Structure 1
Amino acid sequence: MTTPPPPERWALQLLAVLADLDRCEHGRHEGDPGSSCGGPSRGNPHTGPGHGRYGHPVVLPPRHRKHDPAAWRTTTTREDPST
């Protein structure tokens, strides 16, 4: 598997942020099964940013960093490939 060039990698990272906006704090999309949610997930019922796959909050970055995918994430871990 080859690594995409920087412009494509940047676009894929921003798409990953967009895909996470509807996740609940347990990292589940609406309708996903999850024991942490007490049944099917309601997703992100708030109007603000959601959570990453592993429950890390997605935050609104400062305006000058809105095009930086890393600025939308608050925590990175080795187990979370989306950060």
Structure 2
Amino acid sequence: MNLATVDPDGVTRSLAVIVQSLDRCRHGRHVVDPCGSCPNGLSEGNPHLKPGQKVGYDVHGETLYVPGPDHLSDARAWRTLPKDAAAGDDPLLNRAYRERNRLVAGYTRHWPSVITEAPDYPGFWIVYLVSPAGQLSWHIPQEDMDLFKHVRRVDTWAWDGHTTQQKYERLNAACAMWEGRA
């Protein structure tokens, strides 16, 4: 994959990070290249690459993001965050995230909470809650910020390093405490 490009001003730019192998499957083949070990004989690419994932910077310090699967070979696409990276353009998935975010907004009315811009995904926010069982956090797209008008905005907030699994274990424990079962 050649990610050097000529910008509209005619200046050739190349990426400062090595992206040559980012889209390879575990068998070493680029996405959609022939691969006898992947299903259907075509490389599935890197399962860890998610559209919108921040992967580095170019020589000018611009952030690079994994583009959608149809744009992996387009150098300009690596410099643009895909539209709604969390949900893509799937209206059903967008509605599901909106419903989840309504629940998260409800929890922010019961536990101390703050919201800050997401440093890893431009256009997204991170809501942090301090539950009785520990910190919880979720990424929130800009279009759902209307649900969080009551939450105090801060410049930064310390993430405690919890995983998604730990977050939901803490949420279950906090709800059990809330109900008096713990």
Largest Rg, 1 or 2 = 2
- Which structure's residues are more often strand, by fraction? 2
TM-score, normalised to structure 1, is: 0.35
Select the structure with the greater relative contact order (CA < 8 A; seq sep ≥ 6).
1
TM-score, normalised to structure 2, is: 0.18
